[in-house]
Amino acid sequence: MSLVCLLLSIALLAIVVRSLVSFVPGAATSSFGVLLERVTEPVLRPVRKVVRPIQVGAASLDLAPLIVGIAIIVVRGALC
């Protein structure tokens, strides 16, 4: 069970860091940003198909990281 808890914590950290990296110009295209995208996108993509990004003026707000993050917290809370 400890390994599952560790993996869930790492997944949550990766999603949070990816969200923060998206605000830094050029960071998403760096090797670290590309690595984060490759790790987190398989989890975020299915959620984006169901919950589309919300248009806020000229920008769009992607809720997939928030939804997946909350789901990980709930699962981690139930298991760990």
The tens place of each residue's pLDDT in the chain, 80 residues long, gives: 799 999 999 999 999 999 999 899 999 899 999 999 999 999 999 999 999 999 988 888 999 999 999 999 999 999 99
**What's the 3-state SS for the chain?**
CHHHHHHHHHHHHHHHHHHHHCCCCCHHHCHHHHHHHHHHHHHHHHHHHHCCCEEECCEEECCHHHHHHHHHHHHHHHHC
- pTM, two decimals, is 0.88
